[in-house]
Amino acid sequence: MERDRFSRTHPAVTFAFFVVAIGLGAMIMHPAYIIASGIAASSYYCLIKGYKGLKLLLMSIPLFIFLSLFNPLVNHDGERVLAYVFGKPYTWEALVYGMAIAGMLIVMLLWAGCFNHVMTSDRFMTLFGGMIPTLSMLLTMILRLVPNMMRKSKQIAGARKAIGRGVGEKDPMKKKATDSMNVASSLLSWSLEGGAVTADAMKARGYGAGKRSSYEIIRFSRTDLVMAAGMSLLFIAVINLITNGGTVADYTPVMNITSIKDGHLPGFAAYIIFLMLPTIMHLVEELQWRISRSGI
């Protein structure tokens, strides 16, 4: 897997970044901060994923619309009534609140995708293998479980289709359901057998018998130190902003959103710079690479 400049920094730095980015994203419901986090997450995700990242962004639009429109159906608080649905008020405040919730959820999904790309299993084990080896191994296996099972299910479905046991688009629903159950049964058997083989292999290699080593040797460089110091300063500025009420946003029953112009602009700028660090590092490295190529 090709790594960009941010992905090559020390695992402690990248892990701290994602903890702060995801944590603050889940805490702050202010629309301006949600938009800023969304722009930062989507830009970096598209840079590292390319067309697949853009495809995910387009797929998230229907989810955003659905969650935004659904919230006023269950939350009827608010002053400005837009309509009455099933005899219940459909309010503007609940609609905006639904948009904020939907935006926050999509932002979390994007940051999680970036995390899975940057924090590979070996980097995760390098960071936590010495402190909590069993838990870090378990988390690494869980993170690998979903993509591996999705890839294996496609292989099983393709193999069944190759021998004439698959289903087509015009087949009845009952046959499709039966085929899905057969694929799931084969997938479960494969996962159980794989778990047993993995356990035997780990035991044969002496897992847990002594201090583990890492496949990749990662050292804390001067660049990592500078980046960690810069992230710390930006984080302190954001925490100061939060403690001073710069991120307060109430939607129901009365909408009350703090303006970022009321002395909170520096903290908002620090928040944006912090979240844009991976994108900035990626673009700077790409620019340097293009300049070096042009000089050849």
**Mean pLDDT (whole number) for 86-100:** 89
pLDDT for 94-109, tens place per residue? 899 999 999 999 999 9
Amino acid at the residue 32: A
Given pLDDT bands bounded at 50, 70 and 90, which one contains residue 43? very high
Helix (H) or strand (E) holding 192: helix 173-204
Q: Which residue has the higher pLDDT, 223 or 130?
A: 223
How many residues belong to the chain?
296
Q: Which residues neighbour 114 within 8 Å (Cβ) at sequence distance 6 or greater?
A: 18, 41, 44, 45, 48, 278
**Mean pLDDT (whole number) for 60-70:** 90
SS3 85: strand
Given pLDDT bands bounded at 50, 70 and 90, which one contains residue 274? very high
Q: 58 with 75: CB under 8 angstroms?
A: no
pLDDT for 162-180, tens place per residue? 887 777 767 777 777 887 8
Q: Report if pTM > 0.75.
A: no
Amino acid at the residue 271: Y
SS3 244: coil
Is the pLDDT at 223 greater than 80? The verdict is yes
Q: 124 with 216: CB under 8 angstroms?
A: no
CA dihedral 69, 74, 77, 81 (to 10 degrees): 50
Q: Considering just the CA atoms, what is the radius of gyration of the chain in Å?
A: 24
